[in-house]
Amino acid sequence: MIASSGNFESGFSDAAKAIKAERVSARRHMNQLATFSIDPAIRELLSVWNNCRTPNWDGYGATSVSETTVRNAVALLEALPLGWPLPSIGSEPDGHITLEWYQNPRQLLSVSIDENSSLYYAAILGNEDPRGTCRFDREVPETILYWIRRVLR
């Protein structure tokens, strides 16, 4: 089974471990509430991975999606602020997982994550088409949160 970001630690003191345990417990409790649950996105992610975990999964030479990439995607989903709309999940021929927030054809954000925790984003917001790259370090970068907010307005 895929390990969640609850298995990652950013601090080593007893206080850091206690805070982490409380955060994980609170997240589990909130996940039991349908409003805050990320379970549908996790199920969609695992379904996508099941279809894309072998080389050439698309019949055109696609790279397989690695377990590390899936773990990173799970951690990214878990790091989203509670109550935010969940993205649709997909895969790319380069082995990345894609998370997409969609309002309409002129208002969407696509964020891809890879094995190295790099995030590649591209959005369409009317006539704007911002793109970029940032690092995922177990917290959703403010840049990504900004673009999600813009798409979901």
Per-residue pLDDT of the chain (153 residues; tens, 9 = 90+): 444 444 444 567 877 777 777 766 665 555 454 456 899 999 999 999 999 999 999 999 999 999 999 999 999 999 999 889 999 999 999 999 999 999 999 999 999 999 999 999 999 999 999 999 999 999 999 999 999 999 998
77 HSE (CA, 13 A, CB side): 28
* 109 vs 50: CA distance, rounded Å: 24
Q: What does the pLDDT read at residue 153?
A: 87
pLDDT at residue 2, rounded to an integer: 44
- Tell me the CA distances in angstroms from 129 to 44, 71, 94, 105, 109, one per residue in order: 27, 28, 22, 12, 10
What counts of helices (H) and strands (E) characterise the chain?
4, 5
